[in-house]
Amino acid sequence: EAGVVQSPRYKIIEKKQPVAFWCNPISGHNTLYWYLQNLGQGPELLIRYENEEAVDDSQLPKDRFSAERLKGVDSTLKIQPAELGDSAVYLCASSSIAGAGEQYFGPGTRLTVT
């Protein structure tokens, strides 16, 4: 079974530029999560999808961050414009059970904003 796929693995951009991350969850997993992980910290939830519906985006900075999950499969997380403080690892995860069950994580995208 293929795991959660994310791309790109690394991204370096200048501040004020836009950036997008892509995630393909495990086949059949209806729940998809985007997390932010700062250096030396654990992941923090940005947004959670149940199929194509965002059911929790309370931690998503909506002035610059946006996400979509068309057709309830792949998802894209966008930042526009990026700020220096956005430098972090962006993790995507999926699960077959909604809520606080076991989650399967992708390798993440390491973003560096210069």
Q: Which residues bind another protein (CB under 8 A)?
A: 4, 40-45, 48, 55-56, 91, 93, 98-108
Closer Cβ to another protein, 59 or 81, answer by number = 59
Instruction: Please state the closest distance from residue 8 (CB atom) to another protein, in A.
Output: 14
Residues 108 and 5 sit within 8 Å (Cβ to Cβ): no
Closer Cβ to another protein, 81 or 107, answer by number = 107
Closer Cβ to another protein, 22 or 105, answer by number = 105
DSSP labels for 33-74? EEEEE-TTS--EEEEEEETTEEEE-TTS-TTTEEEE-GGGS-
Instruction: Please state the closest distance from residue 99 (CB atom) to another protein, in A.
Output: 3
Q: Is 111 left (phi over 0), alpha (psi -120 to 50) or beta?
A: beta
Residues 21 and 77 sit within 8 Å (Cβ to Cβ): yes
Instruction: Please state the closest distance from residue 94 (CB atom) to another protein, in A.
Output: 12
Instruction: Please state the closest distance from residue 9 (CB atom) to another protein, in A.
Output: 9
Residues 21 and 109 sit within 8 Å (Cβ to Cβ): yes
Closer Cβ to another protein, 13 or 89, answer by number = 89
106: helix, strand or coil: coil
